[in-house]
Structure 1
Amino acid sequence: MNVEIIMIQNCNVEYLYNEHNTWLKNWLHTKLSCSYQAADLAQDTFVRVLMRRDELNIYQLRKPQAYLRVIAKGLLIDHFRRKDVERTFLEALSALPQPESISPEAQKILLETIQHIDCALDRLPTPVRKAFLLSQLEGATYQEIADLMNISTRTVKRYMQKGFSQCLLALA
């Protein structure tokens, strides 16, 4: 196995790009089955490397492809999550009666807002997110959530405050 060591401070991201961009695009293409999306996500991966260059300048990369794969996997997860939110949103829109349909511009704004809220909620600790979603999507009462999660209603209220705060921050 070829172990390539790259010093981020001395090497350049340009070298990393030149040596591994084709491999990364091919790897992403196997996950996405779309060369255009693969190229976009590969580019986004290198943008992330550039953004982290200062943090990484003291580290050595023993396996640059593994490092790039970790970053690209995170971007893939975000990509699939956005697609899932978009699909769910469009399904809900298609179920609306025609007079209640929304203009394409309003759809785009609403979809972007939903995606911001989704990302904000994803940053919450799992129990907080679970309680918030049980309340907002399932219509569960605070007492039902407390019983289900084996926590106090006071804790549920705290979780709900955190959830609403995250949503407000996402919309700001």
Structure 2
Amino acid sequence: MPHNANLSVHHDVMHSLYINHHNWLYAWIRKRLDNQCDAADLTQDTFLRIHAKQNADTINEPKAYLATIAKGLVGHFYRRKSLEQAYLELLAEQPESFAISAESKSIILQTLEEIDALLSALPSNVKQVFLMSIIEGKKYQQIADEMNLSLATVKRYMKQAYVKCFILMESNFFE
């Protein structure tokens, strides 16, 4: 089939998927969120993800597929809101001279979101060791003693976490 014909089929399938399932998906997401605007945005994002993958014609169970994608987007939405709220609370505690621009806030929130995603991808022990070292400022031996791990294991976990951080930084640098 020629490339243009493939695009036409994809367009037709996407159109049908959208028409047949948009209202249902919006209602499904709306039940899980606090407001209509966010539900509308996440509904659109769900369809955009499918459109970007160009796999709409291979979907056998549309509602299940849409719900799976939407569930991930809703979870991401709440994680982002939680991070944003914690960050804004921290900012509110700072003196006025500490105020930062809206652009800086946006960059910081995006960075926090990326760090959260990175940490979520780490095994729980690695994540705990990393946070104890970086956030709490504990020495490796302290962490080993508290978690009943060998010093070599703590070092290995830290290396694993730093490699993930490096990969994240590298991927953002070259975007």
Q: Quickly name the TM-score band, shorter chain normalised.
A: 0.7 to 0.9
Query: Please, which moves more after superposition, 81-90 or 143-152?
Result: 143-152
Counterpart of 1:118 (choices 102, 116, 119) is 116
The CA distance in 2 between the partners of 1:103 and 1:67, in whole Å, is: 40
Counterpart of 2:75 (choices 77, 86, 92) is 77
Superposition TM-score, scaled by structure 1 size: 0.81
Superposition TM-score, scaled by structure 2 size: 0.80
Aligned residue number for residue 51 of structure 1: 52
User: Does residue 101 of the first structure (1) align with residue 102 of the second (2)?
Assistant: no
Query: Please, which moves more after superposition, 124-133 or 142-151?
Result: 142-151
CA offsets, 1:19-38, max 9 Å, x none?
A: 11110001111111311111
Kindly, what percent of the aligned residue pairs are identical? 40
1:143, 1:153 within 8 Å by CA — same for their partners in 2?
yes
The CA distance in 2 between the partners of 1:13 and 1:149, in whole Å, is: 51
1:52–1:125 CA distance, 2 compared to 1 (3 A): farther
TM-superposed CA distance for 1:134, in Å, is 2.0
Aligned residue number for residue 33 of structure 2: 32
User: Does residue 165 of the first structure (1) align with residue 163 of the second (2)?
Assistant: yes
Q: Which has the higher contact order (CA 8 A, sep 6+)?
A: 1
Q: State the aligned residue count.
A: 162
RMSD: 2.4
CA offsets, 1:124-149, max 9 Å, x none?
A: 22222221112222333322322343
Task: Give 1 or 2: higher helix fraction.
Answer: 2
1:120–1:19 CA distance, 2 compared to 1 (3 A): same
The CA distance in 1 between the partners of 2:109 and 2:84, in whole Å, is: 7
Gaps in structure 1 of 5+ consecutive residues: 1-7
Gaps in structure 2 of 5+ consecutive residues: 1-8
The CA distance in 1 between the partners of 2:62 and 2:31, in whole Å, is: 19
Aligned residue number for residue 4 of structure 1: none
Aligned residue number for residue 4 of structure 2: none
